[in-house]
């Protein structure tokens, strides 16, 4: 049941070298740089996104994800969900407005899989790159893969059942797809919108693992051009171009210069409230993950930051 979470709004990613990371996310992925702050963090967004940023890069001694943020409808929803998170047993921290440039107060919370998440209601609106009055189809000066928006993240962790309770029962996400090994859910895809997933989890033995941040492209042709650019720039490739069974998205995976995995994808399924959850059986997992090769790839399954 919808509880006022609009959807995925931002991710803060740790990088080992900021200059290399900015070259990757801005000039190669094609995000637009919108700000930098006194901590040295760099803010970016896709050209179709109206809010000030969706990706924040922070230089650190390890790669991975600091946190992922979801926007909620308004401050009343924020206050209500904050209490629900406390009642559920999350450790909640209030981050004051302005800690991220242009972002209102954030409610940060931990989770059963060891990842940190945030809710917030307000962020500075800078608008789509084409504007909002009589806009053209696309901006003419886009770079690289021309990523349109941050779409979702996939995270690895141990307690998927607790995670499902948190996201479905407390935050009002719908379970769109799952992979089941008998009674054990080994993958779960969740949304608050018509997107097939705003966030996904795969079961592992660890906590807080970051598998990838995913960016939407306009077409399969753009996925193939991204693949060309990955070769031209000698970007570390993971797998693709191919199609997933889960979500049916057309996809390619690669790594940023610090080893964080990125996906660019196009197409795939969408979700309407009331649709049944799609279930993949463990014996079909090869096809579920890589629809064409129909076999799993060790690196895709096990490499995380």
Partner 1 sequence: MFHIDVVSSEDKSFECPPEKSLLHGMESQSVKAINVGCRGGGCGFCKIRILDGEFETKKMSIKFITKEEQAEGFALSCRVFPRSDMRVMAVGND
State yes or no: cis peptide before 234, omega within 30 of 0: no
Whole-angstrom distance, CA of residue 178 vs CA of residue 176 = 7
CB of 304 to partner 1, least distance (A): 7
CB of 237 to partner 1, least distance (A): 9
CB of 15 to partner 1, least distance (A): 9
Q: Is 10 a catalytic residue?
A: no
Q: Is 248 a catalytic residue?
A: no
Whole-angstrom distance, CA of residue 294 vs CA of residue 305 = 25
Residue 176 vs 304, nearer CB to partner 1 = 304
Catalytic residue among 49, 197, 198, 211: 197
Residue 224 vs 303, nearer CB to partner 1 = 303
Question: How many alpha carbons lie under 13 Å from residue 265 in its C-beta half-sphere?
Answer: 26
Q: Is 43 a catalytic residue?
A: no
Residue 109 vs 156, nearer CB to partner 1 = 156
Residue 49 vs 66, nearer CB to partner 1 = 66
Catalytic residue among 10, 24, 115, 244: 244
Q: Is 292 a catalytic residue?
A: no
Q: Is 244 a catalytic residue?
A: yes
In the chain, alpha helices (H): 18-22, 75-88, 160-164, 220-232, 285-289, 298-302
Q: Is 124 a catalytic residue?
A: no
Which helix (H) or strand (E) segment holds residue 203: the answer is strand 199-203
CB of 61 to partner 1, least distance (A): 4
- Residue pair 42/101 in contact by the 8 Å Cβ criterion: no
Whole-angstrom distance, CA of residue 126 vs CA of residue 53 = 9
Relative to beta strand 55-59, strand 5-15 is: parallel
In the complex, which residues of this chain contact partner 1 (CB under 8 A)? 16-17, 61-64, 236, 255-261, 299, 302-305
Residue 191 vs 258, nearer CB to partner 1 = 258
CB of 236 to partner 1, least distance (A): 4
- Residue pair 189/197 in contact by the 8 Å Cβ criterion: yes
Active site residues: 152, 197, 212, 244, 253, 263
């Amino acid at each position: 049941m919808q509880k006022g979470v609009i959807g995925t709004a931002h991710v803060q990613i740790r990088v080992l070298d900021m200059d290399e990371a900015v070259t990757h996310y801005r000039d190669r992925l094609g995000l637009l740089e919108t700000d930098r702050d006194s901590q040295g963090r760099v803010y970016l967004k896709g050209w179709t996104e109206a809010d000030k940023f969706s990706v924040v890069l922070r230089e650190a001694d390890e790669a991975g994800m600091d946190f992922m943020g979801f926007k909620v409808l308004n401050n009343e929803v924020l206050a209500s969900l904050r209490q629900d998170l406390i009642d559920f047993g999350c450790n909640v921290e209030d981050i004051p407005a302005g800690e991220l440039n242009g972002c209102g107060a954030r409610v940060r919370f931990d989770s059963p899989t060891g990842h940190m998440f945030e809710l917030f209601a307000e962020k500075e609106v800078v608008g789509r790159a084409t504007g909002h009055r009589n806009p053209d189809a696309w901006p003419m000066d886009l770079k690289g893969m021309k990523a349109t928006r941050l779409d979702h993240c996939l995270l690895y962790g141990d307690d998927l059942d607790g995670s499902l309770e948190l996201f479905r029962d407390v935050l009002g996400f719908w379970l769109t797809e799952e992979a089941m090994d008998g009674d054990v859910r080994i993958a779960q895809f969740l949304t608050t919108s018509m997107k097939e997933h705003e966030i996904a989890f795969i079961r592992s033995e660890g906590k807080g693992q970051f598998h990838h941040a995913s960016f939407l492209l306009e077409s399969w042709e753009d996925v193939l051009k991204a693949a060309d650019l990955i070769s031209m720039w000698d970007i570390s490739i993971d797998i693709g171009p191919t199609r997933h069974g889960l979500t049916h998205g057309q996809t390619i995976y690669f790594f940023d210069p610090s080893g964080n995995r990125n996906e660019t994808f196009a197409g795939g399924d969408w979700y309407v409230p009331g649709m049944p959850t799609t279930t993949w059986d463990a014996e079909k997992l090869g096809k579920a993950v890589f629809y064409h090769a129909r076999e799993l790839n060790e690196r895709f399954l096990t490499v995380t930051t």
